[in-house]
Amino acid sequence: MTLLHEFAGGASDGSGPRGDLTLSDSTLYGMTGQGGVATPGEWRHVIAQVFAAKVQLIVDGKLALEYVDPKPVTNADMPGLIAWSEGEFDNVRIYAGGVSGRKDVPTKEPPNEHRTERRDPVPVRGVPMIRFGGPLFGDQSTPEKLITAARELGYGAVYAPRLDPENEALCQEYGEALLGANLMVAEVGVWTGLNVPDPEKRGAARAGVVRGLRLAELIGAQCVVAIFGAQHPQRHSGPHPDNFEPRFVEEGVRIVQGILDEVQPRHTKLTMEMLPWAVPDSVENTLELIAAVDRPAFGVHLDPVNLINCPRRYYDTGAVLRECFEKLGPHIVACHAKDVVQDESVFPIHLNETPIGTGRMDYATFLRGLDARGRDVPLMLEHLKTAEEYAAAAAQVRRVAAEIGVGLGYAA
């Protein structure tokens, strides 16, 4: 006889299975009369989540069970709660999306009809969520100080610190500390054009991206964000009529392929900054670039404001976002958060970046699209000047998230 599973409770736990039993890999699933440990009189905070075929049970902020159903139920329209013996339920709530990071998720306290204080959300490891973050201020000279700065801001993701990939031990120390603190490293930014007219600058940009990928691999960053390049004589990402010429694009693709073939990253992805006047400037153009590069380590960094380059896109940013998620969704590894506004005093049209909430970017659609990925995706604030401006932008994103019931992951 082979012992398939052992429960932590009494001698009869796991005996007398009821109903159908399902064997999946080496695990036998079914219902038993008893199982597990529960302390009488002690309340537990329990979250049950269903992501398509995946079912997760989180108890007191820890992932206790995860199961992928080979034949998931698709027509269920009613949840059910069963309490064996003297069990009770309190503060039962039902959400349309994942609850991790919500400000209104109750804690594991016993019922109290006079309790009015709103508690912090329960952080859950292993549950897919939007990892919200932005730049940090103050001393980040050690992993501990960086983690403290992120926690003070309630961030679940950070930009990669400026480290030398030649110092592998230090990079790995930061990476391990951030992972242990439940913080995601969103990106390593290498803001220089790969395919530019000046050969010396082109070589320096290539070396910088190689260096960035090595840092990203050591520290565990989601991606490196680089710039495909432009034919502008002074600006590595500037507007120029030759930016979309096939010969220019083909040369840029060869540069990207060469970098990926040299580094061969296993964890991180190389992505190109979206631009309104250069490759990639649209969903279609991005798909063409993915196909041309044809490397598994090439991904998409979604910066929707950079795609807003005409009135039609500006007036319906929700449609732009939906197209991005529909066609680029599997390739998206990280995102930037900002906003866009039209200067109506200028003719024919002039678009500016603006603080989040003062422009037309549809953040409800943005957050819903990210939440639907079913995996951790960082959403990073950028291009503001002061800590106060970033705090205001973060508050606006969190307000929209709370209104639509989408959770933003944070450090704990």
340 Cβ partners below 8 Å, 6+ apart? Answer: 305, 308, 314, 317, 351, 352, 353, 354, 359, 360, 361
pLDDT number for residue 105: 45
State which residues of the chain have pLDDT below 70: 1-40, 50-54, 61, 69-79, 82-86, 91, 93-128, 410-412
C-beta contacts of 211-214 below 8 A and 24+ residues apart:
211/165, 212/188, 213/188, 213/259, 213/263, 213/265, 213/268, 213/270, 214/165, 214/263
Q: Say which residue the tokens 């404001």 belong to.
A: 305
Positions of E strands within 135-233: 157-158, 184-193, 221-227
pLDDT tens per residue across span 351-368: 999 999 999 999 999 999
pLDDT number for residue 314: 98
Give the bridge partners for 95, in sequence order: none
CA dist., res. 341 & res. 305, Å (int):
10
pLDDT tens per residue across span 290-328: 999 999 999 999 999 999 999 999 999 999 999 999 999
Q: Are strands 351-354 and 184-193 parallel, antiparallel or unpaired?
A: unpaired
Q: What are phi and psi of 292, to 5 degrees?
A: -70, -45
pLDDT number for residue 339: 98
| Domains along the chain with CATH numbers | 130-409 (3.20.20.150)
pLDDT number for residue 72: 64
Note the pTM of the prediction, 2 decimals. 0.72
